Amino acid sequence: MTDSIMSKAATMEIPINSNGDTGSLQEDDSLEQAAKLQWSLDEKVGSSRDTRDLQQVMVSGPNLNETNIVSGGYGGTVEGIIPTSSITGPAVRYNPDFNKRIQVTGFGSNMHHSSSSSSSMAAEQTTRGVAVEKLEYMKKWGFNTYKCTKQMISERFGRGSRTVDLEMEAQIEVLRDTKRKYENVLRLARALTNHFYNMVQTQHALGDTFADLSQKSPELRDEFGYNAETQKLLCKNGETLLGAINFFVSSINTLVNKTMEDTLTTIKMYENARLEFDAYRSDLDELNMGPRDAVTMARIDAAQQQYHVHREKYERLRSDVTIKLKFLEENKVKVMHKQLLLFHNAISAYFAGNQQQLEQTLKQFNIKLKPPGAEQPSWLEEQ
């Protein structure tokens, strides 16, 4: 029926008058009714089709956990399946104006959250690694300290054995005794320097007083005059002697507090290595005397490894101590020969009143005196 009406409307002629206007048509109402009928039929067919599609989707549609995503961008339309369980809250919005497409927003915030989470996890792993290393270090240190303390107590109570090098221990004892004696020499030399400095300052003040009195006492001008010159000469020679004594003190201080102290530090390291070596050696001996099962054999292997490591350390430090003791003895003889000769010549020349020999002694040992008016530089100038 619809086809016949539309065909009839299509074949109708439209008369045109002389003015170009269409005339009144008798069938205008029929055409309008035909168009309305066609529109109503299309509406009914479309609604019934949508109803059938909706029923089909409800019965045999896709899984609700998956959503067809169509997103537009610079690269055009991209479609894909995204699980709806991973999209929460306002991240998914339904827009019926674009053929039931789904717009997904908020991916930038999710990516930022994932990157911050990964960085925090990496920082946490780094902190955990540092903590594990410190824990392992503390564990090894505690285990080693326990063994060394046990060995030390056993040696003091006479129940443990210790490695003894009689020749080296005798040399170490001689060095310690020599250091004590040289420290006493250094203390006395510093005391002599302080007292002699005070005497030189007193002579200087006394010479100034005599010179002033020679100007104010005409009747005793000559007597005060030559006493003032004598005190000034003694003060000058005393300052020269002070330069020699200060050089002697500085050299003894370097020998005692640097050279000998460095050797004694190496000796302390050697003694600690000896104690560790004896501790692990005793541990290995105890394990060898026990049963030989699988667990004990594994412990014996580990103890043997530690034994060899500490034995190499002990032997290396013993060699270092031997070399340092040899060079220290040579250096001590060389330094003390020079310093004792300087001290003797300077003291003899001063008390003999031989100013020329005293100055010659300082030149012989390359000692330069500061000018009388020179002040000690400040700590800013020394930087």
The band of 33, judged by pLDDT with boundaries at 50, 70 and 90, is: low
Choose the most confident range, by mean pLDDT, from 29-43, 327-341, 361-375.
Answer: 327-341
Q: What's residue 368's pLDDT?
A: 81
Average pLDDT over residues 211-232: 90
Confidence of residue 41 (pLDDT cuts 50, 70, 90): low
H helix count then E strand count, the chain: 9, 4
Contact 249, 192 (CB under 8 A): no
pLDDT value, residue 151: 78
The two three-digit tokens of residue 70, written as one number? 């169509």
186 contact partners, CB below 8 Å, separation of at least 6: 249, 252, 253, 256
What tens digit of pLDDT does each residue of 124-182 get? Answer: 778 888 888 888 878 778 877 887 888 788 878 877 788 888 999 999 999 999 999 99
For residue 68, is pLDDT > 60? no
Mean pLDDT, range 323-333, rounded to an integer: 95
Tell me the pTM: 0.59
Average pLDDT over residues 354-362: 89
Say if residue 40's pLDDT is above 50.
yes
**Hey, what long-range contacts does 175-184 have (CB within 8 A, 24 or more apart)?**
175/260, 175/263, 175/264, 175/267, 175/325, 175/328, 176/264, 178/260, 178/332, 179/256, 179/260, 179/264, 182/252, 182/255, 182/256, 182/260, 183/256
Q: Are 219 and 337 in contact (CB under 8 A)?
A: no
CB atoms within 10 A of CB 321: 24
- For 283-324, write each residue's pLDDT tens digit: 888 888 877 788 888 888 888 998 899 999 999 999 999 999
Other CB atoms within a 10 A radius of the CB of residue 274 amount to 20
Q: Which range is most confident: 26-30, 186-190, 224-228?
A: 186-190
CB 275 within 8 A of CB 256: no
Task: Please state the φ and ψ torsions of residue 371, each to the nearest 5 degrees.
Answer: -60, 150
Place of tokens 């430090």: 317
**pLDDT given at position 26:** 45
Phi then psi for residue 20, to 5 deg, are: 85, 5
Name the band, by pLDDT with cuts 50, 70 and 90, for residue 241. very high
In 205-252 the beta strands, taken as DSSP E runs, fall at: none
Q: What is the residue type of 237?
A: N
Between 3-17, 41-55, 202-216, 287-301, the lowest mean confidence (pLDDT) is in: 3-17
